[in-house]
Amino acid sequence: MTARVVPGLFDYRLDPQPGDVIVVWFSNGAASAIAWQETLRRYGNLCDVRGVNNPVQEEDQDNLRFGDAVASWLQRPLIRHANPDFPTGSADEVWRRERAMVFPHGAPCTRSLKKLAREDYERRNRVDWHVLGFTVEEKARYDRFVLTERSNVLPVLIEAGLSKQDCLDRLIFEGVRPPRVYGEGYPNANCIGCVKSQSPTYWNLVRRTRPDVFAARARLSRELGVRLVKYRGELIYLDELPPDAVGGRLKTMNVECGVFCEEVEQATPTIYEAGCGL
C-alpha cells in the first residue's frame, strides 16, 4: 500500500490501519458509487468500510432505487443518516423554516441536510477516514479540500485514475442502472430544481421535465422573495423566465451537493455557469 502525503503546515504520512473505520459518503452519484467499490477493493480486508448517505427528499425517487442497487451490487448495507432536526430530509421544510432558499455562498438546505447531517453522524460514530467521489479531473478540488476541510480523505478515484465518465461506464458494465436523471439531461443526481442553480437552461430543463417541481419552486420563491434565476445579467423570479430562454451551460456532472459541499460552495458559488452572452 502506498503511503500518502497529506499537505499542511507540515507534511506527514498516513495510511489506514487495520480496524480503522472508513466512511464513503455516498451521494447517489455514479462517482461516489465507484468510490465505494474502489474503497472496498483496496481497504475492505483491512478496515471497516461503510457507505453513508444523507437523504434529501427533493432528489428524484429513482435515486433510492439506485442507492439500493449499488448496496446490493457491493453486498453492503447503505446507511441513511439524516439531521435529527430534519428527519424527513425535506429541503422544502428547511426553506420554509428558515424563510430562505439561497445564501450568497450556498444554501440553507445544503447546510441542514448535508453538513449538519454529516456532523451529527460523526458525533455518534467513529470515522477515521473519509472517501468522497473526487474524480481524476477534480484533483485541484481534492487538494483544496484536504487543506481546508479534512486532512483524512482518501482519494481513491484519483489514485485509480478514474474520471466521471469512467465511473459511469463501469457502472453500466457492471449492470447497475445509473440514476435516471442523467438520462433526462441533468448534470448530476442532486435535487431536481436545485436552488443553487441560476442557469436559465437548467431551470427550463426542470420546467420541461418536471413541471410540478418548477411550479412549486416558482411559488415558494415568490412567497419568500427569492430571485433564483439569472437572465440577461439580472436575477429574476422563476415565473418571469421565458420558457425558451437559454444560458448557463450545464456543466456535465461537475459539482454534486455532496456531504462536504460547503467546500464546493466557497470555490464555486453556483452549480451551473450563468449568463453566458444573454
**Positions in the binding site for ligand SF4 (CB under 6 A):** 56, 58, 91, 107, 109-110, 113, 190-191, 194-196, 257
Q: Provide, rounded to whole angstroms, the least separation between the CB of residue 89 and ligand SF4.
A: 9
Strand-pairing partners, residue 4, are 14
Which of 107-124 are b and which e, b meaning 16 or more Cβ less than 10 Å from the residue's Cβ? bbbbbbbbbbbbebbeee
Q: Provide, rounded to whole angstroms, the least separation between the CB of residue 96 and ligand SF4.
A: 13
Nearer residue to ligand SF4 within complex by CB, 7 or 185:
185
For residue 81, CA distances in Å to 52, 74, 89, 118, 181 come to 7, 19, 9, 8, 23
Nearer residue to ligand SF4 within complex by CB, 167 or 194:
194
Nearer residue to ligand SF4 within complex by CB, 33 or 195:
195
Q: Provide, rounded to whole angstroms, the least separation between the CB of residue 194 and ligand SF4.
A: 3
Q: Provide, rounded to whole angstroms, the least separation between the CB of residue 218 and ligand SF4.
A: 15
Nearer residue to ligand SF4 within complex by CB, 154 or 194:
194
Contact by Cβ (8 Å): 79, 68 = no
Q: Provide, rounded to whole angstroms, the least separation between the CB of residue 254 and ligand SF4.
A: 13
Segment (H or E) for 183: helix 180-183
- Number of residues assigned to the chain: 278
Cα separation, 213 vs 145, whole angstroms = 32
Nearer residue to ligand SF4 within complex by CB, 82 or 109:
109
Cα separation, 86 vs 96, whole angstroms = 12
